[in-house]
Amino acid sequence: MVSITAAVAREHEKPLTLESLELDDLRGNEVRVRMVATGICHTDAIVRDGVYPTPLPAVLGHEGAGVVEAVGELVTSVVPGDHVVMSAAYCRHCDKCRTGQMAYCENLFAQCFGGSREDGTTSLTSSGERISSHFFGQSSFATHANVVEASIIKVDQEVPLDKLAPLGCGMQTGAGAVLNEIRPRAGSSFAVIGTGAVGMAAVMAARVAGCTTIVAIDRHQSRLDQALELGATHTINTTDLDLAEGLKSITDGAGVDAILDTTALPKLLVAAVDALAIRGTLALVGAAAPGTEAPFEIGGSLVKGWTFKTIVQGSSVPQDFIPRLVALWKEGRFPLDKLIQTYSPEQINDGFTDSESGKVIKPVLVW
């Protein structure tokens, strides 16, 4: 057992507190990682606030990047000294995992939100008090973590880890939704609602895919301006312009071939349906509170032949997709570092606040 420093969520809708905790011994399928950087993601915020049911107190954090210090006897993918990025956990044995659809693991909630190992134990304690661990298999708001091997992705040691941390969730989700799931045709039109980290990743991925009309939609003008720098061809500020009308104008009335929503706001989803092209696709990656519904009109939709789909973690296999994003970053085609603002661990709550206000797109803690 070793002593570590971690940011603990003790109460819903309350700031996280930096505390000294005890980290127990490695299990056979775990990797001890010294964190270098951890991204702050919207999912951390909604779990902190009780929207998703991880038991508190808990150490959250699921966009970790660091250096391997030790490995369990069953681990084969990394060795001490390797640089790694961490992503969502998956069980490896359900039908979806066995067919390469890890993002849709049948045991996803237990693996990522359960707050413990599969046997019910937690790797973290505070003077004997149980602290939920293994958030997304990692709980990376900490100086060190025992991470399940399924969450580990080995990356090139030449790439700075503080630039790679956001790949584990937000960037993978946005880019993967485009490149793995929507797969837009070169020359097609694409729009993304919400230009936080997920939306910006989608903009960059749409450019990689060869979309020639890329529309960024938000109510923060500073974010829209940056989206233009990253590949957007048009923007819509929803404080000034109706979403559906704006998209129809940009496409000369034809509608958009594919729209990705990162907000999960019903009124925006309904407007997006109206702005779809015939045979268009509306995809949702935004997380909403359980019970949230969006009413879609049926009559006009029938003859449009449109598709609605939900996407988890960019429908990616992290061990395959994240190295591909790293390769794109090295070529300058996926410049995620332009979105990052770094914070010290003591500033973690400032990072949450700045992200929620729109001031910062991707806060990253540097340990």
Assess contact for 115 and 132: CB atoms under 8 A: yes
Q: What angle do CA 54, 57, 62 make, to 5 degrees?
A: 55
Q: What separation, in Å, do the N-terminal and C-terminal C-alpha atoms of the chain show?
A: 20
pLDDT of residue 292: 81
Mean of the per-residue pLDDT values for the chain?
95
352 pLDDT exceeds 80? yes
According to DSSP, residue 10 is labeled: -
Q: What average pLDDT does the segment 309-315 reach?
A: 96
Q: What average pLDDT does the segment 157-178 reach?
A: 95
| Chain segment 57-66, per-residue pLDDT in tens | 999 999 999 9
**Token pair recorded at residue 76:** 């084969």
> How far apart, in whole angstroms, are the C-alpha atoms of residue 96 and residue 83?
28
Least confident of 99-108, 188-197, 205-214, 297-306: 297-306
139 pLDDT exceeds 80? yes
Give the confidence band of 302 by pLDDT, cuts at 50, 70, 90: confident
Least confident of 153-162, 230-239, 298-307, 323-332: 298-307
351 pLDDT exceeds 80? yes
SS3 percent helix, strand, coil of the chain, rounded to 5, is: 35, 25, 40
Q: What average pLDDT does the segment 110-136 reach?
A: 96
Q: pTM for this one? A: 0.94
pLDDT of residue 297: 77
Q: What average pLDDT does the segment 184-202 reach?
A: 97
Assess contact for 319 and 343: CB atoms under 8 A: no
Assess contact for 113 and 139: CB atoms under 8 A: no
Q: What average pLDDT does the segment 251-270 reach?
A: 95
pLDDT of residue 249: 96
Least confident of 132-146, 232-246, 290-304: 290-304
pLDDT of residue 293: 84
| Chain segment 18-63, per-residue pLDDT in tens | 999 999 999 999 999 999 999 999 999 999 999 888 999 999 999 9
Give the confidence band of 299 by pLDDT, cuts at 50, 70, 90: low
Share of the chain above pLDDT 90, in %: 92
